[in-house]
Amino acid sequence: MRFTRSACLVLALSAGCSGSSGTEATVTAEADKPNAGLLADSWMLKTATEEGLAPFQTPGWMALITNRDVPKAAKALGANGGMPGARAHADAAAMFRQAAMCSAEALRETYGETPQEGDPAGTAHLLTVANLILGDAEGAKAAAEKMASVEGDPSASWHAAWAAGTWPPDFAAIPVSLGEPKAGDWPHLGNLPHYELPEQTEQKRMVAMGDPGALVAAAMWHDQVASTLAGDQAAIVEVYDARYLLPIETDPAAAGPMPLDLIFGSELMHPEDGNFLLAVRKDGLSAVDSWKGKSLLADITSRTIVDGKIDPERARDVGQGLRRVVLDEMEAAGGSPMDYHRTFADIARVSALRGLAEVARASGDEYTEGILRISALDHSASAATADPAWLLSMCAYDAGNRFPTRAYELLHNLITRVPELETARYGLDVLSLRVSRESGGGQIPGM
């Protein structure tokens, strides 16, 4: 499993995402086109006219969609409340979840997969947190038991919340003051580094660390705000965020359909796309047939399947075809081309690629997931397509494949806007150093 992921990533990097399933995939223009009725219900077509877009022409929405500035959006939309505020805080929760995933993957790769004799004793705490985040409850308990015999470690105050090695931790015991969850607020995660761990060597070199528990706590803080703002629609918001849940978390029950002010500008193009992804996470590709008449992403997925699997070449053709159709239909609905039509069509294409990558992952096809992730990244260069949560999921993906260099670059670009994400950098630091030493270097690659 681990080798498969790494092999896929290396192939995608070296081949420029040009692989296919081995089956000739002939795509006609008609096969590229999504179901017209489902497309009409997408957020892209619902906002194709000036009248449809009007409710979203506010500073908060502009920050969230045009610039993907989640802190600014949470402060503006959160303060106004309602579903738009819930959406902004839900996006913040997703972002911090994926930052925690990035840190956890890096720490597990460093201290779990390639431990060294001189590693700090406190890495038992880091592995407790990392393993739990990544869904390895057995590994978390083993690390917590090991940490129980460590005395006077600098991480001790942070470990108290996780000492049981079970989910959820005692968030109230995490030593960072986030304050009471309040709409429009943006808590900070304390001064960095949170602590320094001494290596068990003669030199006793200190390893600076940002604790991933702070990132998890921030995610849950924003989750609580989003749920409060959503009120009786809180279950729908849970489905909206389900694609970015931590592996240790339980999928919510299906709910919905999702309102426009929850999915506008998001990767979930259609009100039922979130429920479809939940079905795929449960049933794999067998969910496609039952959902392709109800979800735009399911319909798109059905057009990419060759010999029982998503074909990467067809997936990219269908994504490009979606962009063309969305652009044409938006211009037709609006009566003339508008500047934002092209931006929304670009978001639709990258959303399709990301969604298809998630479907491939959920169905156990890590090869196709890797190719589609890289393809989606290639189309995520503009401000409007650079969704922080998804980019951080790429950081986590790269860290889990022991490829910290690109993860560093992606994270560095996000830290300039969201300084709290610096907490995740410390995990990449130690992974980078270990990977560099394995390759005969000694310098930290990346930043």
Same domain, 110 and 232: yes
> Is pTM, for the whole model, over 0.95?
no
* pLDDT tier at 431, thresholds 50, 70, 90: very high
* For residues 142-159, average pLDDT: 97
Look at residue 10 and tell me whether its pLDDT is greater than 80. no
Higher pLDDT, 439 or 198: 198
Q: Would you state the pLDDT for residue 440?
A: 63
Over residues 81-109, the pLDDT tens digits come to 999 999 999 999 999 999 999 999 999 99
Q: How far apart are CA 311 and CA 372, in angstroms?
A: 10
Residue type, 157: S
* Number of domains present in the structure of the chain: 2
Report yes or no on 9 lying in a domain.
yes
- Whether residue 252 sits in one domain with residue 109: yes
Beta partners for residue 309, in sequence order: 306
Which of 29 and 73 is assigned the larger pLDDT? 73
Nearest CA to 401 out of 440, 381, 368, 428 is that of 428
Over residues 268-276, the mean pLDDT reads 98
Tell me how crowded residue 416 is: count the other CB atoms within 10 A of its CB. 8
46/82 same-domain check: no
pLDDT tens for 361-405 read: 999 999 999 999 999 999 999 999 999 999 999 999 999 999 999
Residue 45: C-alpha distances to residues 41, 53, 64, 331, 341 (Å):
7, 10, 19, 9, 10
25 shares its domain with 154: no
Measured between its terminal Cα atoms, the distance across the chain in Å is 29
* Co-location of 62 and 133 in the same domain: no
Beta carbons within 8 Å of 286's beta carbon, 6+ residues apart: none
Cα 366 to Cα 344: distance, rounded to the nearest angstrom? 28
Tokens standing for residue 446: 């990346």
Asked whether residue 158 falls in the same domain as residue 203, the answer is yes
* pLDDT tops 90 at residue 145: yes
Cβ atoms of residues 81 and 183 within 8 Å: yes
Is it the case that residue 38 has pLDDT exceeding 60?
Answer: yes
Neighbouring residues of 347: CB distance < 8 A, sequence distance ≥ 6? 44, 265, 384, 385
Output the CA angle 430-97-53, nearest 5 degrees: 130
pLDDT (0 to 100) of residue 437: 85
Report yes or no: 386 and 27 within 8 Å, Cβ to Cβ.
no
Co-location of 316 and 196 in the same domain? no
The helix or strand, by DSSP H or E, that contains position 305, with its residue range, turns out to be strand 305-306
pLDDT band at 17 (very low <50, low <70, confident <90, very high): very low
pLDDT-above-70 percentage for the chain:
91
* Residue 392 covered by a domain: no
Q: Identify the top-confidence range among 11-15, 21-25, 221-225.
A: 221-225
- Please give the Cα distance from 17 to 252 (Å, whole number): 33
**Contacting residues for 92 by C-beta, under 8 A, at least 6 apart:** 70, 71, 74, 186, 218, 219, 222
pLDDT, residue 6, reads 41
Residue 314, domain member (yes or no): yes
Has residue 446 got a pLDDT over 70?
no
Q: What is the pLDDT of residue 14?
A: 31
230 shares a domain with 108? yes
One domain for residues 358 and 433: no
* Residue 297 covered by a domain: yes
Q: Do 279 and 420 fall within a single domain?
A: no
Q: Is the pLDDT of residue 444 over 70?
A: no
- Residue 211, sorted as left (phi over 0), alpha (psi -120 to 50) or beta, turns out to be beta
The neighbouring-strand residues paired with 197 are: 207
Q: Locate 389 and state its tokens.
A: 């949560």
b/e string for 147-179 if b means 16 or more Cβ within 10 A? beebeebbbbebbebbbebebebeeeebbbebe
In a domain, 397, yes or no: no
State how far the Cα of 276 lies from the Cα of 262, in Å rounded to an integer: 16
Q: Is the peptide bond before 312 cis (omega within 30 degrees of 0)?
A: no
If pLDDT is split at 50, 70 and 90, which confidence band does 348 have? Answer: very high
Q: Which domain holds residue 435?
A: 76-262+404-447
* In-domain check, residue 148: yes
Residue 135 resides in a domain: yes
Considering the domain architecture, whether residues 230 and 301 belong to the same structural domain is answered as no
Split at pLDDT 50, 70, 90, the class of 23 is very low
> Within a domain: residue 396?
no
**Do 330 and 376 have their domain in common?**
yes
